[in-house]
Amino acid sequence: MLFSTYGTVLDVVAMKTERMRGQAHIVFKDVQASTQAMRALQGFEFFGKQMKIVYAKGTSNVIAKLRGAYNVSTVAAPAGGTSTDLQKSIFSGPPGSTTLPSRPTGETNGEATSQGVKRPREEESDEGEAPMDEESDVPMEDSSDED
């Protein structure tokens, strides 16, 4: 409601990731409405902090869709250009359809594989340490610093 008073808001993108927390992208239908909102709300206190409003560096996908210049393949294309057979097999099938490699049956080169054995815990010995009694009535020894 805050931004819609200045013009038609097409899209609001607010991500909750650590780097984007506290930021939002608001897409207006025309530049005049966004300029008017930016001038009116610059420095406006919102939840105890002043808003810092700047224009976006690029155009939104919503604007490109309205103009008819939106191309799905450029947005979803991998950075490398062409996809490999592995990528096609991973992304074309339904989740859970990939097969995991089979586990060995227990014998390798004719020998049975040994299972890991846990070592027993070593007992803590109290031989080197004297017990500390906090309730003892023995006075502390006088130090020789007071000569």
Quick check: helix, strand or coil at residue 117?
Answer: coil
**64-79 confidence digits (pLDDT tens):** 777 776 666 655 555 5
Average pLDDT for the chain: 72
pLDDT for res 104:
63
State the pLDDT confidence band at 61, using cuts at 50, 70 and 90.
Answer: confident
Close Cβ partners of 64 (under 8 Å, ≥ 6 residues apart): 70, 71
State the pLDDT confidence band at 109, using cuts at 50, 70 and 90.
Answer: low
- pTM equals 0.42
**72-102 confidence digits (pLDDT tens):** 665 555 555 666 776 766 666 666 655 666 6
Close Cβ partners of 27 (under 8 Å, ≥ 6 residues apart): 9, 10, 11, 12, 13, 60, 62, 63
> Which structure tokens are listed for 2?
């805050």
Is 60 exceeded by the pLDDT of residue 26? yes
pLDDT for res 93:
63
Is 60 exceeded by the pLDDT of residue 47? yes
Percent of the chain with pLDDT over 90: 0
Q: What is the CB neighbour count within 10 angstroms for residue 134?
A: 4
Distances (CA, A) of 4 to 1, 32, 51: 5, 13, 16
CATH architecture of 9-70: 2-Layer Sandwich (3.30)
Which is more confident, 111 or 36?
A: 36
